[in-house]
Amino acid sequence: MYKCVVLLVLVTLQGSVIWSACDVCQSNGAACINQTSYNLCFGSSMPNTAQNFTCTDGLVCTDQPIICFQRSETPASCGDTDSCGQCAPNYVFACTSRSTFAFCFGSTKPTNVTGSCPAGYFCDASTQEICVIKTTDDSIICHLDEPSVV
């Protein structure tokens, strides 16, 4: 019985990856301004905007304890949403949020045939697999928590 409870908790934790948004104080004490820059919160719930910090080359602002993390390991907490709902470059599907997608069926506009990635996966418009666990340098991620209205 005890083992079952532990297992359940583990499974639940794994499925509850909480993605943050721009300008929101995260558990690591940083609020991402955009994909590569952040403000510190200094224990407050509001970002301190007096100083802007920028991650070093190749790193992006994340909710990981070390704040700036390799882009290939963790998608940025916040960033541009230019690719959201865009069928290009594959015209097969468009990511409508970090974890949802809509099929394009060769069109430039997504259709209303939509789907969700399994827990722990996110939508990557650069890959035929649609939903992936790890990003790559070429990843095209839609930085939205909720599906964009298309």
Ligand X SMILES: *[C@@H]1O[C@H](CO)[C@@H](O)[C@H](O)[C@H]1NC(C)=O
User: Is position 34 an interface residue for ligand X (rule: CB under 6 A)?
Assistant: yes
- The one among 22, 31, 32, 33 contacting ligand X by CB under 6 A: 33
The 8 Å CB, 24+ separation contacts for 42-48 are 47/23
User: Of residues 64-123, which lie at the interface with ligand X (CB under 6 A)?
Assistant: 112
**48 forms part of the interface with ligand X (CB under 6 A):** no
Contact 110, 87 (CB under 8 A): yes
Tokens of 106: 């060769």
Q: Distance (Å, rounded) from C-alpha 51 to C-alpha 108?
A: 41
CB of 14 to ligand X, least distance (A): 30
Of 37 and 64, the one with the shorter C-beta distance to ligand X is 37
Q: Which residues bind ligand X (CB under 6 A)?
A: 33-37, 50-52, 112
